């Protein structure tokens, strides 16, 4: 199982890195997000606000790299005539799809580096990370959890051909609900349970705490990873049902 995931991840990582769409999306989006957020938070005299802005902008890049592309992954496979081969492969279907979204999330790791460098050289923002090791671990946990959320988005598109639009539809709400742009404490009370059920919320909290040196980090990292794994389990359980439904309704190969 591990070998299938690793080989699939490496294969899709090479494919995504050579994709014109994913390449432009991965390079330009983080710079656009960072520029917009830095202009917003640049009016504040609080240095910690710019650190929070940098963390949020980098996470926005990772989520954008996964949400849109993950939702269209199986739609592209369907249009290219390879979805049936994936479904009929001797390996479990979820093990063939999860590496795809994990590879997209790995491409999104560029956002962290690009955002920090863009802020340093383009805006002369000196961002000091109080606990670098914890910050790196929190970044990896956030990336993993976003990749697993993308896995769930990809699985849904097996049954519903229009499900690819979910990635675009969820892109902006997740930014807000997970605290990428503004603290979730400023959101209405009814959104708080939703925010806490989303793995990136805890990943952002861990990164902010590691960057500022205030607050717990490992507890938030653990919650981020556990919730991400929970989404992956839901996707794996859902895979058999949506494949059976697609076969029953003869929609597997329809583009």
Helix axes 110-122, 47-80, angle to 10 degrees: 140
Mean pLDDT of 55-76: 76
pLDDT at 116: 76
pLDDT tens digits, one per residue of 89-143: 778 878 888 888 888 888 777 777 777 777 777 777 777 778 888 888 998 999 8
The whole-angstrom separation of Cα 104 and Cα 67 is 9
Locate the domains of the chain by residue range: 2-248
Helix (H, G, I), strand (E, B) or coil at 55: helix
Q: What is the mean pLDDT of residues 53-69?
A: 77
Which residues are CB-contacts of 202 (< 8 A; sequence separation ≥ 6)? Answer: 196, 220, 221, 223, 224, 227
Q: By the 8 A CB rule, do 59 and 180 touch?
A: yes
Give residue 254's pLDDT.
56
Query: What is the pTM (predicted TM-score) of this model?
Result: 0.83
Share of the chain above pLDDT 70, in %: 85
Q: How confident is the model at residue 247 (pLDDT cuts 50, 70, 90)?
A: confident
Q: Where are the alpha helices (DSSP H) in the chain?
A: 2-17, 20-41, 47-80, 83-88, 93-108, 110-122, 132-156, 165-177, 192-196, 199-212, 218-248
Lowest mean pLDDT among 74-83, 97-106, 141-150: 74-83
Average pLDDT over every residue of 139-149: 89
Spatial neighbors of 210 by CB under 8 A, at least 6 apart, are 129, 130, 131, 132, 134, 135, 137, 138, 217
Q: What angle do CA 75, 78, 81 make, to 5 degrees?
A: 150
Q: Is the pLDDT of residue 84 over 90?
A: no
How many C-beta atoms surround the C-beta of residue 14 within 10 A? 11
**pLDDT for position 222:** 94
């Amino acid at each position: 199982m591990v070998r299938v995931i690793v080989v699939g991840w490496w294969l899709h990582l090479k494919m995504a890195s050579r994709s014109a769409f994913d390449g432009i999306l991965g390079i330009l989006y983080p710079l656009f997000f960072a520029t917009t957020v830095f202009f917003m938070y640049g009016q504040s005299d609080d240095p910690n606000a710019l650190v929070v802005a940098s963390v949020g902008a980098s996470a926005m890049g990772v989520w954008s790299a996964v949400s849109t592309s993950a939702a269209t992954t199986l739609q592209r496979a369907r249009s290219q005539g390879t979805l049936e081969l994936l479904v009929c492969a001797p390996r479990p279907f979820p093990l063939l799809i999860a590496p795809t979204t994990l590879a997209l999330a790995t491409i999104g790791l560029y956002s962290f580096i690009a955002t920090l460098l863009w802020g340093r050289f383009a805006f002369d923002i000196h961002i000091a990370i109080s606990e670098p090791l914890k910050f790196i671990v929190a970044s990896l946990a956030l990336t993993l959890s976003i990749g697993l959320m993308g896995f769930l988005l990809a699985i849904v598109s097996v049954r519903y051909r229009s499900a690819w639009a979910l990635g675009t539809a969820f892109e902006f709400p997740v930014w807000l609900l997970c605290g990428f742009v503004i603290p979730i404490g400023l959101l209405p009370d009814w959104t708080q349970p939703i925010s806490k059920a989303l793995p990136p919320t805890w990943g952002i909290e861990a990164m902010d705490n590691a960057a500022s040196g205030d607050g717990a980090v490992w507890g938030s990292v653990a919650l981020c990873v556990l919730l991400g794994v929970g989404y992956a389990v839901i996707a794996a359980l859902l895979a058999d049902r949506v494949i059976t439904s697609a076969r029953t309704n003869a929609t597997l190969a329809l583009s």
